[in-house]
């Protein structure tokens, strides 16, 4: 029985993203008020949504993690001593500045993440699962010709593996 499960799992690895992605995507506008976006995510029971322009082109993504930044303690930049002088560690400063901007924002555009991992409809389930796992994310927009055509979540992967 365990071998049967492994065979099913292995055969599904080649399933194409376009076959199992969610096609009815909830998208947000960068000008939308943050509270409205939070209400949408909560009402739809989703962890994140792509942010698109009027043409449907991907600009970023707003996830529950982006929303937590505004309500969490910000990490003060790490200080290091170089030749007796104290200085802030550059990556630490960049992260702090980014988190400050998100925390101070009232719009989706200000709080969203702009560096977005994406998939194409022709990518495989294995590609999607690898990105979700390695990047520790839960939502991947599916993009074709710069436009959002679907979304893949961890639940979509599990549904595909189960055959439902």
pLDDT averaged per 10 residues, the chain (length 164): 45 85 96 92 94 96 80 48 54 52 73 93 95 94 97 92 78
User: What is the distance between the alpha carbons of residues 18 and 15, in angstroms, rounded to a whole number?
Assistant: 9
User: What is the distance between the alpha carbons of residues 160 and 152, in angstroms, rounded to a whole number?
Assistant: 11
pLDDT, residue 48, reads: 94
Where would I find the beta strands (DSSP E) of the chain? Answer: 48-52, 58-63, 79-82, 85-88, 139-144, 147-153
pLDDT, residue 118, reads: 97
Sign of the four-CA dihedral 150, 154, 158, 159: negative
CATH no., domain 2-162: 3.10.580.10
pLDDT, residue 28, reads: 97
pLDDT, residue 64, reads: 87
pLDDT, residue 74, reads: 46
For the chain, the domains span 2-162
Give Cβ neighbours of residue 160 (< 8 Å, ≥ 6 apart). 12, 15, 19, 20, 125
CB count within 10 Å of CB 145 equals 7
């Amino acid at each position: 029985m365990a071998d049967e499960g492994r065979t099913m799992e292995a055969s599904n690895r080649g399933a194409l993203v376009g076959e199992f992605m969610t096609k009815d995507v909830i998208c947000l506008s960068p000008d939308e008020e943050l509270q409205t976006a939070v209400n949408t995510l909560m009402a739809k029971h989703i962890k994140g949504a792509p942010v698109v322009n009027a043409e449907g082109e991907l600009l970023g993504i707003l996830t529950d993690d982006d929303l937590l930044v505004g309500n969490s303690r910000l990490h003060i930049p790490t200080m290091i001593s170089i030749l007796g002088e104290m200085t802030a560690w550059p990556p630490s400063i960049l992260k702090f500045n980014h988190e400050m901007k998100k925390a101070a924002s009232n719009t989706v555009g200000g709080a969203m993440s702009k560096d977005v991992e994406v998939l194409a409809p022709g990518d495989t389930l294995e590609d999607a699962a690898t990105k979700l796992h390695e990047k520790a994310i839960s939502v991947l927009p599916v993009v074709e010709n710069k436009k959002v055509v679907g979304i893949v979540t961890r639940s979509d992967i599990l549904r595909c593996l189960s055959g439902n």
